[in-house]
Structure 1
């Protein structure tokens, strides 16, 4: 397997409609079960970009860099072991809607099976986000 995978999901909604859902970090548990079963704001950061996330792999800290107009939903996750993983998520315009594009990077020491499991979890999350956005009134 390669060291980087692009996971894509087409959504029959505009970038603005998808960003209205995806950029609301408090809604992560609704669609990102592979990452967040619970979330609370990290009050030590005044700008609201940092959150404490209950993830399947432990309690982590996520700092979001969101640019609604440009469709950017990047986030750096500080893992329980102290390492930081940069996650790149874009919402890009496409014919008849938009496309979610998540760049999954193989982490040091990650074997093919772990990367495949991560890819499957992210793909499931992107499908849930698509379904959530497409259920909304346009």
Structure 2
């Protein structure tokens, strides 16, 4: 069964390498992606975030650093579910385009899917604001 996906993008007036360096550091997640969680911390070599609403801790695992702008990551939720998140930083001349793929989870309503995409768009707008200031 195919998963429905929606690509959420944002252009950032900074070089792609600068955007990648900032966004690839899990310590920065709480600043630009509060929807994922707060209180990002490194414990025993693992990046942990507190899940919103007191849902426990999730672990975020990024792909190894690379020269291609790939920031794909997995979020290991407290219940054991693993959510794979495709995320890219692309060069667009002297600026960057970030592309985040939102995937519809099983049983997710249209409204929930729209809210997920809107939350990602807000996070990417925050990333833009931080990096352009």
TM-score (norm 2): 0.89
Q: 1:33 touches 1:125 (CA, 8 Å); kept in 2?
A: yes
Out of 28, 51, 55, the residue aligned to residue 55 of structure 1 is 51
Deviates more, 1:124-133 or 1:73-82: 73-82
Q: Deviations over 1:71-127 (max 9, x none)?
A: 111110111221110001100011340100001111111111111111111111100
Flag structure 1 segments of 5+ consecutive residues without an equivalent.
Answer: none
RMSD across aligned C-alpha pairs, in angstroms? 1.6
Does the residue aligned with 1:73 lie in a helix, a strand or coil? Answer: coil
Out of 87, 91, 94, the residue aligned to residue 93 of structure 1 is 91
Q: 1:23 touches 1:66 (CA, 8 Å); kept in 2?
A: no
Alignment of 1:52-91 (within 5 A): 52-56=48-52, 58=55, 59-91=57-89
Does the residue aligned with 1:16 lie in a helix, a strand or coil? Answer: helix
Counterpart for residue 14 of structure 1 = 15
Count of residue pairs brought into register by the alignment: 129
Distance 2:127 2:36 in 1: 13
Distance 1:68 1:125 in 2: 23
Flag structure 2 segments of 5+ consecutive residues without an equivalent.
Answer: none
Distance 1:51 1:24 in 2: 10
Distance 2:126 2:60 in 1: 20
Counterpart for residue 31 of structure 2 = 30
